[in-house]
Structure 1
Amino acid sequence: MWALIVLLFLATMEKPILSLHPPWTTIFKGERVILRCDGYQPLLLEPRPINTLWYLGHQLLPSHKKTIEVQTPGIYRCQTRGAPVSDPIHLSMSNDWLILQVPYAMVFEGEPLVIRCRGWYDKVIYKLHYYKDGHVMRYFHSSANYTIPQARASDSGQYQCSGTLRIPVESTPMFSAKVVVTIQELFASPVLKVVPKPDSRSGGGVTLHCETRLHPQKRDTPLQFSFYKYSRPVRRFDWGSEYTVPETETEDLESYWCESATVTRSVRKRSPWLQLAGRGSFSSTSSITTRAPQPAAMSRNPVSKPLSFRKPPEPRLVPSGTSTPNSTLTRALASVPSIPTAGPTACSPLTSLEQSASPSKPNMDLLLQEMQQLKSLLRQVMLELKEPHKVLGLKGIPKTPALDVGVSLVTPQITGRD
């Protein structure tokens, strides 16, 4: 039982932290640096307790002190009693005139990044240039460090420096070896999610959670959160990672997004817009297929109204000379033999053409015959309007008189209007 407790205790212990002084992983050949191992040191009643173990590659070093001084290149690790092995430090030596020195420890987003171009045994470098991925980043007249106050992920890359030395006269430009620098992510970009609602909590708004993840070595870094609806903040930065959407606004859940940041705002990251699992996840919500707001005309009525085909109105005869009903004219027209006529000349198609189901060209002879009959009928109507006493004395419909009454006939047109 006690053995199991001891094993669980050892498994939960953190590995020691290995540090380098001065903090540069590349040095000139023959120089010395100091390594320090900080971690849990158990109190054991032993005559000569062994507190620290040192490794160079897979070789165990004879020293058991908390600090050691080394001048051999290689990969160093340390271990305290009962704890895991520390992270490694890669120490390299150089015989070049110029060396580019970068920090041994990981640099995280928002932290300062310091890069040092060093001449042989601290000789002054003139016309100093710093490069990143082959492009000049900074120029100095003489020796100086290149500092980025708040590093970003975009600052990762391959760095190099160049300059001249006076040995004893000024030399031609010299270049250091290239060194890869990687900026570690402090925390992942957040994702806005809907908190599942228990059955007991019926009604009310919907709770959103701004979810992110800190780097294991920076898990104690405090973060703050802010929530937005479109571009309007609904809750500004505070310590809470959850926000409750009012019940009246749950139809627009997919218009929300959140932002996580450090207290100093040196690192800020925003989430994508909320994406629901599928339509119907919430009874009061509606899915949105695109992120950018669409024009009102397209979003409200994205499909054009289909064409409607209606039956044309019944054909009727409307006198063109007057708008007042005339009983005499009505009796005269009633005695005229039934002739297929059309409605308003410029509105409806001919009845005979409407009844024809053939898509071919209409019969022009029949059309001309009906136009002649309509012309005769209109002349009779005009004659009655001018001299009604003559028409009443007739026992029938006279033949069409050869009179020019000045009526302009309009050829019927076939249109598609209702």
Structure 2
Amino acid sequence: MAGVFYFSPALLWAAQMLLAGCHAAASFEALQCEGPASTQESMCHPEDDLTDPKEVRFQVKGYTFSEPIHLIVSYDWLILQSPAKPIFEGDPLVLRCQAWQDWPLTQVTFYRDGAALGPPGPSKEISITVAQKADSGHYHCSAVLRSPGPGSPEAASPVALTVHELFRAPVLRVTPSAEPQEGKPVTLSCQTKLPLQRSAARLLFSFYKDGRTVRSRGPSPEFQIPTASEAHSGSYWCEAATEDNQVWKQSPKLEIRVQGPSSSAAPTALTPAPPQKADAPETTSTKPPEPLPPLPTPSAKDPDSFSLPQGPDPHLYHQMRVLLKQIQDMRVLLGHLVIELRDLSSHLKLETTKGPAKHE
């Protein structure tokens, strides 16, 4: 439960004097309130719910409050000053190694998670032009305080610094589905969201298909296909980026397969394919193939024979002949196998009947 307290003018003046006294021995820091002001009378009660973590700013009876800033007064010889506002991906980050009463420093070294970020030097600041999530960690600095300081090396207490995600990697959505019907409209949506602290920022979106750009950077997170066709099938993904392109993220790939006409539609008439040159069966002769003889017709002597009328395609006709010949050969092999099995069965029966007679 967090509350907002209102002081009387005299009490507020006393608090300001106390705060100024704490900083007078070391340095002076200014606190500035930015944003719209209001002179309406208002009251804030402890039972008012002001703790919603999702809301950065909240209003109570006409007043608008900023998010809280934690003020830490330190009496150390050396402190590391970091930004008071949250740091997001793409922001510039500046850290300052501050000495008591701003005494001069030498051999200043900055550390992250205990590892030095560079050799000792005279600069009291270190800057990161474009902050990334990997820059999060515990920072501190060390330095030697020169005259009028003690002239001894000092180290500042670690400061935890978190670089927040500016926006999550986008997700590509397809409407009505990833398998749309041919001729129907399709909408691709690149979905992501900025935090409330950076809601005024602007993102640009790009769309890709099979490694090619189908729509370059633009403010709209949607890409529309008015009439889908089989040519629109493929692997799609999108990209969201800031205007300065300092932060950009891609979505996972999504397969889109445009479906052809439904099976209930009337089938189209099939026209026979034009005659094609038949492959020469097991021959290296360069002479043109002779006309194929007709297949034998069924007869009383060979009731298992087949006949096939010659079709319009000689190549298809030849393939059918080969297939029928293989079937006939298989029937012959099966017939021989049946005969051999019968002979083997008769031989086994004969050996069984002779066996007991020898024992007598």
Deviations 1:364-409 (A, max 9, x none): xxxxxxxxxxxxxxxxxxxxxxxxxxxxxxxxxxxxxxxxxxxxxx
Residue 257 of structure 1 aligns to a residue whose secondary structure is strand
Summarize the alignment of residues 294-305 of structure 1 with structure 2, pairs less than 5 Å apart.
Answer: none
Are residue 209 (structure 1) and residue 205 (structure 2) matched?
no
Are residue 247 (structure 1) and residue 228 (structure 2) matched?
yes
From 199, 205, 212, give the equivalent of 1:225.
205
Give % identity.
Answer: 37
- The 8 Å contact of residues 41 and 80 in structure 1, kept in 2 or not, is answered as no
- The 8 Å contact of residues 29 and 95 in structure 1, kept in 2 or not, is answered as no
Q: CA deviation at 1:126?
A: 1.7
Deviations 1:69-125 (A, max 9, x none): xxxxxxxx9988622432111111222221100011112221110001112221222
Higher-Rg structure is 1
Q: CA deviation at 1:243?
A: 1.3
From 176, 186, 190, give the equivalent of 2:166.
186
Q: Which residue of 2 aligns with 1:34?
A: 30
Q: CA deviation at 1:147?
A: 0.4
Q: Which residue of 2 aligns with 1:262?
A: 242
- The 8 Å contact of residues 28 and 93 in structure 1, kept in 2 or not, is answered as no
Q: CA deviation at 1:284?
A: 4.8
Deviations 1:130-156 (A, max 9, x none): 111122213342133110111112111
Deviations 1:302-337 (A, max 9, x none): xxxxxxxx8783799xxxxxxxxxxxxxxxxxxxxx
- The 8 Å contact of residues 26 and 102 in structure 2, kept in 1 or not, is answered as no
- The 8 Å contact of residues 258 and 271 in structure 1, kept in 2 or not, is answered as yes
From 309, 313, 324, give the equivalent of 2:329.
313
Q: Alpha carbons of 1:206 and 1:122: their partners in 2 closer, same or farther (altered >3 Å)?
A: same
- The 8 Å contact of residues 141 and 155 in structure 2, kept in 1 or not, is answered as yes
Q: Alpha carbons of 1:28 and 1:93: their partners in 2 closer, same or farther (altered >3 Å)?
A: farther
- The 8 Å contact of residues 124 and 143 in structure 1, kept in 2 or not, is answered as no
CA RMSD of aligned residues (A): 4.1
Q: Please list every run of 5 or more consecutive structure 2 residues that lacks an aligned counterpart in the other structure.
A: 1-21, 45-56, 262-325, 348-360
TM norm structure 1: 0.49
From 131, 134, 159, give the equivalent of 2:114.
134
Summarize the alignment of residues 103-142 of structure 1 with structure 2, pairs less than 5 Å apart.
Answer: 103-142=83-122
Amino acid at match of 1:113: L
Residue 37 of structure 1 aligns to a residue whose secondary structure is coil
- The 8 Å contact of residues 26 and 100 in structure 2, kept in 1 or not, is answered as no
Deviations 1:280-314 (A, max 9, x none): xx6459xxxxxxxxxxxxxxxxxxxxxxxx87837
- The 8 Å contact of residues 228 and 257 in structure 1, kept in 2 or not, is answered as yes
Deviations 1:20-49 (A, max 9, x none): xxxxxx9796544332223433466xxxxx
- The 8 Å contact of residues 190 and 270 in structure 1, kept in 2 or not, is answered as yes
Instruction: Give, in whole Å, the separation in 2 of the partners of 1:153 and 1:79.
Output: 32
Are residue 156 (structure 1) and residue 136 (structure 2) matched?
yes
Q: CA deviation at 1:354?
A: 7.0
Instruction: Give, in whole Å, the separation in 2 of the partners of 1:78 and 1:206.
Output: 40
Amino acid at match of 1:91: L
Q: Alpha carbons of 1:27 and 1:192: their partners in 2 closer, same or farther (altered >3 Å)?
A: farther
Q: Alpha carbons of 1:123 and 1:249: their partners in 2 closer, same or farther (altered >3 Å)?
A: farther
Residue 235 of structure 1 aligns to a residue whose secondary structure is strand
Residue 93 of structure 1 aligns to a residue whose secondary structure is coil
Q: Alpha carbons of 1:169 and 1:89: their partners in 2 closer, same or farther (altered >3 Å)?
A: closer
Instruction: Give, in whole Å, the separation in 2 of the partners of 1:202 and 1:313.
Output: 48
Q: Please list every run of 5 or more consecutive structure 1 residues that lacks an aligned counterpart in the other structure.
A: 1-25, 45-49, 54-76, 286-309, 317-348, 364-418
Instruction: Give, in whole Å, the separation in 2 of the partners of 1:167 and 1:213.
Output: 52
- The 8 Å contact of residues 183 and 229 in structure 2, kept in 1 or not, is answered as no
Q: CA deviation at 1:350?
A: 11
- The 8 Å contact of residues 27 and 102 in structure 2, kept in 1 or not, is answered as no
Higher relative contact order (CA 8 A, sep 6+): 2
TM norm structure 2: 0.57
Q: Which residue of 2 aligns with 1:290?
A: none
Amino acid at match of 2:111: Y
Alignment length (residue pairs): 244
Q: Alpha carbons of 1:43 and 1:119: their partners in 2 closer, same or farther (altered >3 Å)?
A: closer
Q: Alpha carbons of 1:172 and 1:78: their partners in 2 closer, same or farther (altered >3 Å)?
A: farther
